Structure 1
Amino acid sequence: MKNLIGDVSSAARILPDLNGEALFVARGKGAYLWDTKGKRYIDTALGFGAVLLGHAHDGVAARVVEALNEAPAPSWAHVREHAAASELARHTGDLTRVIFNNSGSEAVHLACRAARAYTGRTKIAKMAAGFDGWFDEITLGNVAGADADFADGARPSSERVTLLRFNDFEDVGRLFAEHDDIAAIIMEPMLANAGCLMAAPGYLKHVEAVARQHDALLIADEVLMGFRLHAGLTSQREGLRPDLATVGKAIGSGVPVSAVVGRPDVLEGFEQGRVLRGGTFSGNPMACAALTSTLEVLDTADYAALTMAGESLRAHIVTAFAEQGIAVSTSGYGTVFTIWPCATAPETYREALGVASKVFSTELHLVLRDLGLLVMPSPFGRIYVSFDHTAEVVEEMKVIFSKAAARMRSAKYAEALAV
Structure 2
Amino acid sequence: MQQFSAESVLALAPDAASAKAANGLTKPGQWPLLGASDAAVWGECQGSSRYQTQVDLSGPSFRCSCPSRKFPCKHGLALLLLWAKNPSQFQQGSPPTWVSEWLASRTERSQKKEEKQREKAAEKAADPHAAEAALKSAQKRWSRIDKGVAELQQWLLDQVAQGLGHLTPASHEAWESMAARLVDAQAPGLAQRVRYAAAALLDGPQWPENVLRRLGLLQLACHAIQRRDALDEGASADLRALMGWPIDKDTVLAQATKVSDQWQVLGVVQEERDNNLIERRVWLHGVQTGQRALVLDHIFPGRVFEQSWMALSQVQATLAFYPSAAPLRALVVQTEAITPAADQPPPPTSTPAQEWQAVAQRVAANPWGSLHPLRCHNTTLTSDGERFHLHWDDVALPLQLHLNDGWALLALSGGHPLTVQGEWDGSSLRPLTAHSPEGFWIWSPV
TM-score (normalised: structure 1): 0.23
Higher strand fraction (1 or 2)? 2
